[in-house]
Amino acid sequence: MKKFQSVLAFVFLLLVAFQSIGQKVYQWRGDNRDGIYTENKLMKTWPEKGPELVWFNEEIGQGYAAPVVTNDKLLINGESDSTSFLYAFDLKGKLLWKTANGKEYYGKGFSASFPGSRSTPTVVGDLVYTSSGKGRLAGYELATGKEKWAVDMVPDLGGIENMFGFSESPLIDGDKVYFMAGGAANNMVALNRFTGKTIWSSKALGDTAAFCSPLLITLPTRKVLVTLSTRFVFGVDAQTGELLWSSKTLNNFAFEKLHANTPIYADGFIYFTAGEEAANGAVKLQLSPDGKSIKEVWRNINVTNAQGGFIKLGDQLFTTTKKKRLVCVDTFNGNVVDSLSANKGSLIYADSKFYCYNETGDVKLIKFENNKFIEISKFKVEKGTKEHFSHPVISNGTMYIRHGRALMAYDILEK
């Protein structure tokens, strides 16, 4: 009997491995979490009033969360009547289903001015994973929205909610889903993505979460999970949760506890931007070949961006800054190559152009040639409510922008 049970367990593990290998992951800021979308044949310029708005929905609830788009569905989180909902649409804007995910973040004091969802769902195969602002991480059937499992980071794992709630977009690798609970004991966790059961739990540095959606680095000897907490940038072994290295961020103000930008890894180096008040700025770290240590290469304290994302192309970094400039930074020395007046905002890249959705509601199409920025076109987002904080998404020739309760789909294919 024991031999038979062992065989069944082995077969189950093989099936799980088969399901996990080679499946496309639809996630936060594109295939590699780096803000680069592999679309082409997009419009070279836009009409004066912007691309055609092919559909919109103004009933997705409050929030700042960007959508995630598969080959036939769009998933997005929103708050309604203090409840977190996951919505599924087809690509013509028809609501397919919506399902509740517990209470949504509402805040206290100053943070109560910014209620609503923040996490972008992650889709792998026939399952979708998402978190509420209160830290309820759950897995759902993609076709129906039926809940498969849920783990609440605060009561279940002793997690700590920061001043703006949980904002992390779940990271999937194989049979694991990674998340930062932010507690003293279960600081970082890896859960089985099919059952929600804990695979490992790490004390890490015992620091609270800071909005960052983590990055997974694959090295010859190990995989390293990299993220930012309120006071540190750090890496843990993705297989065991062992803390490998850390470096303090420079937090002098309350708002400096929010470091929402996913780091980028390339050619042995980690890049991140953090904070808008202290001396964090843009930073380049050298990661050792075994993933066990880091060394700071340079830091430019004037390139400050807490939540708008950044792009790495070749030997240059691109991001907007607190000083309301879009800047290009040389990755060799950290110096600014060129800048353009653009206001603070979210930045993505597709088909050789930048798409900047700034906090005044302007959407700009920008190219960078011969080390110079050139603004091509712009239009203003008229629908929606509250702050323009969401990140644009490009998929299937369509640009999706969320503004509070409104979700808009613009046709940007070249005609």
Q: What predicted TM-score, i.e. pTM, was given to this entire model?
A: 0.93
Residue 137 burial (C-beta neighbours within 10 Å; 0-12, 13-18, 19+): buried
Rounded Cα distance between 289 and 276, Å, is 31
Domain boundaries, the chain: 23-411
Rounded Cα distance between 368 and 352, Å, is 8
Give the H/E segment covering residue 24: none
Rounded Cα distance between 293 and 224, Å, is 11
Tens digits of pLDDT across the chain (415 residues)? 555 444 444 444 444 444 445 689 999 999 999 999 999 999 999 999 999 999 999 999 999 999 999 999 999 999 999 999 999 999 999 999 999 999 998 877 887 788 899 999 999 999 999 999 999 999 999 999 999 999 999 999 999 988 889 999 999 999 999 999 999 999 999 999 999 999 999 999 999 998 999 999 999 999 999 999 988 999 999 999 999 999 988 765 555 567 899 999 999 999 999 876 666 889 999 999 999 999 999 999 999 888 999 999 999 999 999 889 999 999 999 999 999 998 889 999 999 999 999 999 999 999 999 999 999 999 999 999 999 999 999 999 999 999 999 999 999 999 8
Residue spans of alpha helices (H) in 231-343 = none
381: closest CA among 41, 46, 119? 46
DSSP 3-state assignment of 311? Answer: strand
Measured from the Cβ of residue 344, the count of other Cβ atoms closer than 10 Å reads 24
Return the pLDDT at 113.
83
Residue 396 burial (C-beta neighbours within 10 Å; 0-12, 13-18, 19+): middle
Q: Are 356 and 399 in contact (CB under 8 A)?
A: no
**How many Å separate Cα 94 from the centre of its chain?**
25
Q: Are 17 and 366 in contact (CB under 8 A)?
A: no
Rounded Cα distance between 195 and 139, Å, is 8
Return the pLDDT at 278.
61
User: What is the per-residue pLDDT across 360-374, written as a single tens digit (0 to 9) for each?
Assistant: 999 999 999 999 999
Return the pLDDT at 1.
53
Q: What is the CATH number of domain 23-411?
A: 2.130.10.10
Q: Which two tokens stand for residue 142?
A: 């993609």
User: What is the per-residue pLDDT across 303-329, written as a single tens digit (0 to 9) for each?
Assistant: 988 899 999 999 999 999 988 999 999
243: closest CA among 213, 205, 209? 205
Residue 294 amino acid letter: I
Cα within 13 Å of Cα(210), Cβ side: 27
Return the pLDDT at 108.
79
Cα within 13 Å of Cα(393), Cβ side: 29
Return the pLDDT at 274.
81
Q: Are 30 and 395 in contact (CB under 8 A)?
A: no
Rounded Cα distance between 218 and 221, Å, is 8
Rounded Cα distance between 183 and 273, Å, is 24
Residue 81 burial (C-beta neighbours within 10 Å; 0-12, 13-18, 19+): exposed
